[in-house]
């Protein structure tokens, strides 16, 4: 069964969890973490999002992100693609770094904003990495206390919920989080216990969000995005994809593009055939051959999974 599309609207608040593939480490030293910071900063600026809180663990990341007009998926795809490329270059590796698509939960900010930020910041304590939260460097906690300046981090939105006076707000935040130091894992911040796992909030909030989502059109990636994904995966330019020859790698790429258009895109096979200078029947036949090959060819199966994961993450309601 296909996953439900992500719900998007400007100003929506999300709890985002990004994990390493097979629980592998995604950060090895401070240089990795600072590079991830850079990608967060550039992504937030490019897509008009606010990073309200973060915590970088060893093999996963927690974020509180308030989105602008652009869906969260665009922001996350940009970060994961750039950071994976960075890590593979540093480590001399190839392949996946992150575990499938990231998890995101739309949060009722009025009811849970303070709780969510505290929960994110307390991750190192729950994991037994430190007993003194203020000594953990790789989260936004110290910035909330005024002990560190992170220019791309937005602390004002959360601190304003405590007090209009910054000094008072920081003291109240410190008290709030210290009262929760012994708090354990909270299922609700992982999409459990709600009538819809995409949403964190009480029944009235979930009902309102789902009612809103029912009125929102489903937006699927267009032809340009499908082609860009295929070009990156197969390391081909568009001229090579549309070349009249039958080179195996380019032919496979066209077949995967046709499969992706049918499965995920708002475009049609006719649109793709016209772009590549093929007829629709040959594109359709290529998809049928791919479906047979994926059963016996692990490489094909993995490439289809990778394309599907990226494009599926771009489907949203807005």
Lowest mean pLDDT of 94-98, 190-194, 222-226, 246-250, name the range.
Answer: 190-194
**What is the DSSP track for 102-156?**
PEEEEE-HHHHHHHHHHHHHTHHHHTTS-S-GGG--SBSHHHHTTSS--TTB--H
pLDDT given at position 187: 83
Above 50 in pLDDT, residue 60? yes
Q: Which domains does the chain have, with CATH numbers?
A: 6-216 (3.30.70.1290), 219-317 (1.10.1750.10)
List phi, psi (to 5°) of 153.
-90, 135
71 by DSSP, 3-state: which?
Answer: coil
Above 60 in pLDDT, residue 107? yes
List phi, psi (to 5°) of 12.
-65, 145
107: β partners: 13, 200
Above 80 in pLDDT, residue 101? no
Q: How far apart are CA 91 and CA 36, in angstroms?
A: 15
Q: Long-range pairs for 186-192 at CB < 8 Å and ≥24 separation? A: 186/119, 189/15, 189/105, 189/116, 189/119, 190/17, 190/103, 190/105, 191/103, 191/105
Look at strands 6-7 and 316-317 and give their pairing. Answer: parallel
Task: Judge contact between 197 and 191, C-beta under 8 A.
Answer: yes
C-alpha count within 13 angstroms, C-beta hemisphere, residue 80: 27
Listed in sequence order, the residues at least 6 apart from 113 whose beta carbon sits closer than 8 Å to its beta carbon are 13, 52, 64, 107, 157, 158, 161
pLDDT given at position 217: 57
Above 70 in pLDDT, residue 213? no
Share of the chain above pLDDT 90, in %: 47
pTM across the whole model: 0.72
**Which helix (H) or strand (E) covers residue 210, if one does?**
helix 203-215
Q: How far apart are CA 310 and CA 22, in angstroms?
A: 18
Above 90 in pLDDT, residue 186? no
Highest mean pLDDT among 58-67, 96-105, 292-301: 58-67
Above 60 in pLDDT, residue 2? no
Q: How far apart are CA 49 and CA 6, in angstroms?
A: 16
- How far is it between the farthest Cα atoms of the chain? 69
The overall average pLDDT reported for the chain is 88
Lowest mean pLDDT of 41-45, 131-135, 243-247, name the range.
Answer: 243-247
pLDDT given at position 10: 85
pLDDT given at position 176: 97
- Sheet of strand 13-19: strand arrangement: 50-56, 60-66, 13-19, 103-107, 199-200
Confidence of residue 216 (pLDDT cuts 50, 70, 90): low
Mean pLDDT on 270-282: 90
Tens of pLDDT, residue by residue over 140-184, are 999 999 999 999 999 999 999 999 999 999 999 999 999 999 888
C-alpha count within 13 angstroms, C-beta hemisphere, residue 275: 19
């Amino acid at each position: 069964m296909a996953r439900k599309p992500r719900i998007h609207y400007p100003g929506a608040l999300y709890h985002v969890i990004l994990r390493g593939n097979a629980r592998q480490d995604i950060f090895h030293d401070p240089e990795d973490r600072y590079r991830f910071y850079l990608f967060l900063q550039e992504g937030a600026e490019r897509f008009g999002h606010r990073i309200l809180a973060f915590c970088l663990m060893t093999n996963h990341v927690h974020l509180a992100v308030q989105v602008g007009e652009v869906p969260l998926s665009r922001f996350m795809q940009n970060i994961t693609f750039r950071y994976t490329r960075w890590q593979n270059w540093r480590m001399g590796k190839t392949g996946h770094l992150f575990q499938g698509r990231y998890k995101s939960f739309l949060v009722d900010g009025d009811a849970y904003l303070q709780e969510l930020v505290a929960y994110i910041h307390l991750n190192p304590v729950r994991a037994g990495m430190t007993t003194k939260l203020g000594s953990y460097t790789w989260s936004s906690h110290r910035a909330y206390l005024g002990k560190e300046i992170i220019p791309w981090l937005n602390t004002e939105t959360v601190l304003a919920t405590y007090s209009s006076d910054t000094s008072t707000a920081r003291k109240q935040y410190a008290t709030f989080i210290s009262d929760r130091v012994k708090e354990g894992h909270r299922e609700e911040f992982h999409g459990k216990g709600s009538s819809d796992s995409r949403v964190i909030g009480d029944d009235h909030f979930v009902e309102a969000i789902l009612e809103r989502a029912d009125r929102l059109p489903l937006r699927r990636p267009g032809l340009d995005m499908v082609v860009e994904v295929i070009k990156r995966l197969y390391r081909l330019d568009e001229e090579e994809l549309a070349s009249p020859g039958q080179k195996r790698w380019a032919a496979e790429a066209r077949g995967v593009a046709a499969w992706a258009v049918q499965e995920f895109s708002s475009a049609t096979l006719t649109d793709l055939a016209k772009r590549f200078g093929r007829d629709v029947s040959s594109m359709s036949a290529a998809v049928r051959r791919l479906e047979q090959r994926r059963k016996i060819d692990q490489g094909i199966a993995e490439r289809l999974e990778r394309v599907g994961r990226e494009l599926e993450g771009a489907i949203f309601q807005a």
